[in-house]
Copies of this chain bind each other. A is one copy, B any other.
Amino acid sequence: MSESARFPRPLQRTRLYEQVAEQITAWIAENDLKSGDRLPPERQLATSLGVSRATLSQALVALEVIGVVAVRHGDGTVLTDKPRVERITDAIRAHAERIPDVIEARDALETKLAALAAQRRTQNDLDHIDAALKAMDEDIAGGGRGVHGDELFHRAVTQAAHSPLLEQMMSEISELIRETRIESLSQPDRPRTSLAGHQKIADAIADGDAERAAAAMHGHVMLVSDVALLRDE
């Protein structure tokens, strides 16, 4: 196995519960289980996996700590709504609502993401972005605020950047962003303005112009932040 001269193979030992946990998550992914769905009973699951209940229990503890499942005495084991823990989210919320902080983080991440997206977007990425624009447009035309379309757009841009680390960070503050998003789009005339901003960003990304994309995204985020600032006064 990889006769690499660089890594003398520390030969890391794997505990059984780790393998079990991995198998369970794999099984969840395979069967496309969603939050609220139940895992098989412990006894059954243990025999299925060929391990003791004690070991399975360890695996469930691990998954519980990670935030994948919730084990309920007398009821069963159910999938948690949030597949990943949002440690950051909790940290912030604990210190009351700090909308400006979220705006800052968004600005830092999304400006860079837009620039990267302009450089790396595939045709498929552009299709997703266009679809998001269209969805928001139709929603607004129908009298809606375009909240969903807005979210789709930003997610599409994030995807187009093809940067796993930044994507992960965005996902960690996505919940925080969602709150400000609704707030912002509730302002009169804001949805149309916001959509126009999206269009500018999308054009720059399509053109492959990183600087213009970054500038457009920065302006857009600043626009959104207006609400939050007003809210303070």
Contacts and interface: CB of A to CB of B under 8 A. Distances in A.
A12 to B, nearest CB: 11
Nearest to A91: B168
A49 interface: no
A165 B107 contact: no
Give chain A's interface secondary structure class. Answer: helix
A169 B105 contact: yes
A139 to B, nearest CB: 29
Interface size, A (range): 35 or more
A227 interface: no
B101 A164 contact: yes
A58 interface: yes
A94 to B, nearest CB: 10
Given A58-B61, A107-B112, A95 B164 contact: yes
A165 B92 contact: yes
A219 to B, nearest CB: 15
B58 A165 contact: no
Interface string A61-96: 110011000010100000000001101100110010
Given A104-B163, A105-B169, A108-B108, 12 more contacts: A54-B54, A54-B57, A61-B61, A61-B65, A85-B87, A91-B168, A92-B164, A101-B163, A101-B164, A107-B112, A108-B111, A108-B112
